[in-house]
Structure 1
Amino acid sequence: MSNKLLSALFGAGLAALAMSSASFAADQKISDFHVDMGGGCETCHKDGSPSADGEYEFKQCQSCHGGLADMDAVHKPHDGKLKCADCHAVHDMNVGQHPTCDSCHDDGRTPEKILGKK
């Protein structure tokens, strides 16, 4: 076989694998996705058990994803006011699922309006 054909087959295989992984993750709870990344429940919870105030878990989120002030325009105004779990229900939401502004705000806010997109 030619090198071009082998390269094309290899690329197609990688693309198929990436698409199958992405569709699997979208049907997976966020918490299960984090467990599958390695470490079990201890990935987010100290000794595998939820903390009473959620502070330990909040620090774990920030250790991988960064602080709210470091994120996009939707996250920045919430810095110092909310913890990740106030909006992201990791045991109930699927990977890629996002809370909406109107979950808390009833004044017509949307990410598009906040970010200046129409």
Structure 2
Amino acid sequence: MSNKLLSALFGAGFAMLALSPAVHASDVLADVHAEAGGCESCHADGEPSADLAHENGTCVDCHGGMADMDEPHPTHEDVVNCTDCHEMHEHTADTKPELDASDEKCADCHG
């Protein structure tokens, strides 16, 4: 392969990488997902469901279940949903939810 062709391919690849959307630590999670596919990427018909079941299913479809996560997650897979801890419209990409028994969802079982 010629040096000119290699240089052109490298330059094109670098330009595509530079123009691709990147997730920054300060990005609000809902905005990141909306940029990837609009509100419909999480919400059926672009509107939140009453029980957030569709939204939680969408989380699992893309990211896997709690057992698939790189970092430890509580083993409450059938009790706790993604949206119980991850506030998509408030948390940023670098937000790590704090486990706190005083949280409403935790207090339901742990008082």
Q: Partners in 1 of 2:4 and 2:49 — Cα distance?
A: 54
Q: Work out whether 1:53 is the aligned partner of 2:57.
A: no
Q: State the TM-score, normalized to the length of structure 2.
A: 0.65
Which residue identity is paired with 1:61?
C
42-51 or 74-83: which moved more? 74-83
Q: Partners in 2 of 1:85 and 1:4 — Cα distance?
A: 51
Match of 2:77 among 73, 76, 79: 79
Gaps of 5+ in 2: 102-111
Gaps of 5+ in 1: 107-118
- The residue aligned with 1:109 is none
Measured after TM superposition, the shift of residue 99 of structure 1 is: 0.9
Q: Partners in 2 of 1:82 and 1:14 — Cα distance?
A: 41
More helix per residue: 1 or 2?
1
Q: Work out whether 1:63 is the aligned partner of 2:61.
A: yes
Q: CA RMSD in A?
A: 2.9
3-state SS of 2:60 partner: helix
Change (3 A) 1:45 1:15: same
Which residue identity is paired with 1:104?
L
- The residue aligned with 2:99 is 104
Structure 1 runs of 4+ aligned residues shifted over 4 Å read: none
Q: Work out whether 1:7 is the aligned partner of 2:6.
A: yes
Q: Partners in 2 of 1:65 and 1:105 — Cα distance?
A: 23
- The residue aligned with 2:86 is 88
- Tell me the percent identity: 34
Q: Partners in 2 of 1:93 and 1:3 — Cα distance?
A: 48
